[in-house]
Amino acid sequence: MKLSVIIPIFNRSDLFTLGLASLVNQGFRDWELVLVDDQSTEDLSKVYSMFPIKVQHIRIDPRNHPAYSGYHTPALAINIGIRHARGDVICITQPEILHDSGNLERGYDHAKQGGFVFGKVQLTTKPFTKYIRDHQEEPFGQLWQKGIDFGSTVFPDNELYWYVAFVYKKYADLIQGVDEE
């Protein structure tokens, strides 16, 4: 296995469908999906079962984790995904990201050469933006709104972006993942 794509997720199956389609429609074929599900109430298997991919669907309960204090970030899910990944390189992404053609292959090649790649990709902007605007009571929603407010000056094309990382798995294992606190 060359690449493990780790996606921490809680519901958002509509956005996940678009993001996953963008991954599947690339030329890169030797990859698996490590879906770390934070107690979704939606049946996410309905989404990934539509695609011919290898999937590890891991359900977690963050309340059982020692670092849990009533709120948690995707870091916990990412670290669980890293531990379960079987690829030489891991890609850490989000369900709503639309990956450009060739993104997996480029990220894999660069990570194999240099160990770590970090870049921005376009989101499925309209549905995700609406979701965030509808949930302004959440701290992330407030932060995202600031990004929207300043979007036209920060991103001249007036679109919204999220970030994706590719890292050689042995390096992710060496540093024991990302900070969960």
User: Contact 16/43 with Cβ under 8 angstroms?
Assistant: no
The pair of structure tokens assigned to 38 is 């934070």
The pair of structure tokens assigned to 115 is 């160990």
Q: Following CA atoms 140, 36, 3, 155 in sequence, which dihedral angle do they give, to the nearest 10 degrees?
A: -10
The pair of structure tokens assigned to 6 is 């780790």
Confidence at residue 74, expressed as pLDDT on a 0 to 100 scale: 78
pLDDT in tens, 22-60: 899 888 889 999 999 988 899 999 999 999 999 999 998
Between 113 and 34, the more confident residue is 34
DSSP state for residue 97 in the 8-state scheme? B
3-state DSSP assignment of residue 163: strand
Q: How far is it, in rounded angstroms, from Cα 160 to Cα 120?
A: 10
**Parallel, antiparallel, or unpaired for β 89-92 and 161-168?**
antiparallel
Question: Tell me, what amino acid is at 5?
Answer: V
Confidence at residue 163, expressed as pLDDT on a 0 to 100 scale: 67
User: Contact 104/164 with Cβ under 8 angstroms?
Assistant: no
pTM of the model: 0.77
Confidence at residue 135, expressed as pLDDT on a 0 to 100 scale: 52
132 alpha carbon, distance to own chain's centre: 16
